Amino acid sequence: MKTINIFKIAAFALIGLLVMACGSNNTYKNVDELLAQVSPNVTEITVTELHQLFDDGEIIVLIDVREANEFNPGYIPGAVNIPRGLIEFNVLKDDFWENQFLYPPLKTDLVVVYCKKGHRGLLTADVLQKFGFENVKYLKGGFKAWELAYPNEQLKNLEQVHDGGAEVGGC
């Protein structure tokens, strides 16, 4: 009887070790490796496609994931600023959206995220999908692409910029 219990315990331990060993051990040498892994899972949208959605009157949850000092000098009209480092903490909070005078997004809403050049937007879109959002896209080229394509179609909050602040996020 004792022998059978020992074998059961040993078998469960061995199975547990195998499961842990076969689990995904995602370590990356650099951010490019992470972006390469995430990219196939996320849908991009171009500035032209996004602009067309605006022109068609589509309802879009537009989230700018840059820091406030990047957002305030210029952003796409209708965007809500949720910095990349806070997205997981705020995107599902009703209080956050109420403070923005908006309804919280539904998991089925079209959500478009963007940053300065696209990388933080790509990573954020991946996170939102993991939170159950079904229709998430990131803006290819980010705000820079929008600014180049539609230089007169952006808003600014210059009076809210507290300091020049260094660029953050690396992209």
CA distance 54 to 59: 8
Rounded-to-integer distance, Cα 150 and Cα 26, Å: 38
Whether 22 sits among the annotated catalytic residues: the reply is: no
Q: Give the angle 122-123-128 at the CA atoms, nearest 5°.
A: 95
Token representation of residue 148 = 């180049």
Burial label for 2, CB within 10 Å (0-12, 13-18, 19+), is exposed
Q: Which of 42, 115, 125, 127 is catalytic?
A: 115
Instruction: Name the nearest CA neighbour of 70 among 161, 146, 4.
Output: 161
Indicate which residues carry an active-site annotation.
115
